[in-house]
Chain A
């Protein structure tokens, strides 16, 4: 401890959390809240956390979708699909995530052309070496009606499904709840949307000079990180899905087939309800890993917590202990939130025993 204070004194580092109120003096390429060079380091902290959460949420969504398909694909009766799924898992799981991030960033995205020769999709989405440009929805006055009708539709579906379940339990008559719910949502929302005068306008990106203005710009750093995290984490999710389904005893599927259930009904009513209990804990574990892995963004400079706060802010104020402890605390808290969600789901999913 004596050494610690000696060293701190010798290097002229100040102690305490006063630095949080100092002006940061540097800009950040992507901020979800208002931020400029005159903002404080505490604002940098917030911007970093939000950017971490942004890429984590994006990654969790896509990794789950890819992982689910690949995991089911591995169990497919189709030979080529199951082999391709296996190759996907074995290929991407055994290459370090940092290498994948750097590959996407330095090789794939860096090889894209300049804004003037962008790749164009649907005449509104542009991809070039400065990132992906997508239209930005601008909400007009009447949008509140659309929102209200959407919420009303959800409420209606909630009660409808309750009624349908009750009737099914009592009389055994089925009700096509999915089709009807989908119809209600699409139909009512579309009608109200046009009645209230199409209250969403799209702001398109357009080329002005050497760069695009307007719309949303997804930075190449964000894209590289997002792709790499999704592809890498999806391999683990796929394995969890496969292991969960395989863990269900073969007798279960034979029993349901001998009851005359169709393959679809067997999956829906017998296999998945049992498998989901086994699948969810490891998947949520992977979500936590994905959040932690998002810190590797610092290698390509995506402005998340470790890059802007443990990187740039630390270089400016030099208070390593405080800053790194704060960063660690954020990840610990995010981790605790994720495991609380898991405990909640586990409790809900538990087989109700008497």
Chain B
């Protein structure tokens, strides 16, 4: 035996364990120690009062007259919950938007599972008609006017219609901006730069005040439709920029390969370039959907009752005056949950699609 195995020594106690972690991550220098103490003080100032207000001192049940605690009065949210979700949609028809939501998930599930083209086409074209009929009425279902739609229902309707309709417009604009034809390129560029340069609110004013002037005055123009037109035109410009980013990321060889196969323009775009470009732009498209979702709050300025507007509306109820704080906090939580989960989703997609070897 030339050598003896020596038992490995344990790592020195100052390089492991909780104390070491604290030293490394919280108190590594004087400045860091001061910052840590300040941060804990800040947390101490914010967290306990917040938890008290939101949970411990909060009133979760009972009637308005029985409130004794001075925390959040969540009974307001309970009482007005259906307004926050459906607006003034008639109560006996709540099942219709609910059914539409369930159908949406079902459709997405089938669409992803099936490989049959005909089923896919059927789903693609029947979906808007069925959903529209369910929510708005027609074909024997009672008609529900759009001014009764409100709350989260309206927010989701505007956001989804906005993204779906603006998507093809955005793609065409992006192709137009990358086109070789000067007139088309200039027009697309002007459109994109114009809509990206002005605030959404001016476009909503334009579509709600100016648009009706261009149509015969007998034509009653639905307020919601006008808002959706404005939002769609606006969103299309942003989608176009996202898609343009995707188009630019496609190597030139792909364009040349498609050309050398003698594919005509639309075929080379449709079968070679766009499938790749759209795939890499998906994370950014989700990102721009998040902005659209947040931007739907602007509807309240032109007098539509989206989720945010419901706070103002429900707190003018003379029985429930002064409950705005609870309303805003609840609505903020809803928006936050939606936007945060979507942004997480976009992040996972980004990792999934990031195929270059960095």
Contact = CB atoms under 8 A, between A and B. Distances in A.
Interface of A: 1, 3-4, 6-8, 10, 76-81, 84, 90-91, 93-99, 102-103, 106-107, 292-293, 295-296, 298-299, 306, 310, 314, 320-321, 324, 327-328, 331-332, 335-336
B94 interface: no
Nearest to A103: B328
A96 B35 contact: no
Contacts, number: 132
B127 interface: no
B294 A97 contact: yes
A327 B202 CA distance: 8
Given A8-B213, A79-B26, A310 B294 contact: no
A233 to B, nearest CB: 13
Interface string B286-324: 000010001101101100000010011000000000001
Contact of B336 (A6, A91, A293): A91
A320 B300 CA distance: 19
A296 B26 contact: no
Contacts of B332: 95, 99, 103
A78 B25 contact: yes
Contacts of A79: 25-26
Contact of B216 (A3, A78, A107): A3
A78 B32 contact: yes
Given A91-B336, A292-B200, 8 more contacts: A4-B213, A7-B214, A77-B28, A96-B308, A103-B332, A107-B324, A295-B201, A324-B202
22 contacts: A3-B214, A3-B217, A4-B213, A8-B213, A77-B32, A78-B25, A78-B35, A78-B36, A80-B39, A81-B36, A94-B343, A96-B297, A98-B298, A99-B328, A99-B331, A103-B332, A296-B199, A296-B201, A298-B301, A320-B213, A328-B202, A331-B198
Main secondary structure of the interface of B (DSSP, over half): helix
Nearest to B201: A295
Contacts of B212: 7
A80 B26 contact: yes
A324 B217 contact: no
Nearest to B331: A99
Range, interface on chain B: 35 or more
Give chain A's interface secondary structure class: helix
A102 B328 contact: yes
A108 to B, nearest CB: 9
A81 to B, nearest CB: 5
Nearest to B194: A332
B215 interface: yes
Contacts of A336: 197
B103 interface: no
B187 interface: no
A4 B213 CA distance: 5
B201 A78 contact: no
A139 B337 CA distance: 52
A95 B290 CA distance: 10
A321 B213 contact: yes
A78 B198 contact: no
Interface stretch (B5-13, B61-69, B203-211): B203-211
B340 interface: yes
Given A77-B32, A95-B336, A97-B294, A292 B26 contact: no
Among all A-B residue pairs, the 5 with the closest Cβ atoms: A94-B339, A79-B25, A96-B294, A295-B199, A292-B199
A106 B300 CA distance: 15
A81 B35 contact: yes
Which of A1, A91, A99 has the most B CB atoms < 10 Å from its CB?
A99
A49 to B, nearest CB: 14
Interface string B337-358: 0011001000000000000000
A107 B325 contact: yes
Contacts of A8: 213
Nearest to B344: A90
A320 B335 CA distance: 33
Contacts of A327: 202
A99 B308 contact: yes
Contacts of A310: 202, 205
A293 B216 CA distance: 34
Interface string B16-51: 000000000110100010011001101100000000
Given A80-B39, A81-B39, A335-B197, A295 B202 contact: yes
A4 B202 CA distance: 19
A341 to B, nearest CB: 15
A188 B339 CA distance: 53
Nearest to A80: B39
A299 B300 contact: yes
Nearest to A332: B197
Interface string B77-92: 0000000000000000
A102 to B, nearest CB: 7
A98 B194 CA distance: 23
A3 B336 contact: no
A266 B297 CA distance: 45
B218 to A, nearest CB: 10
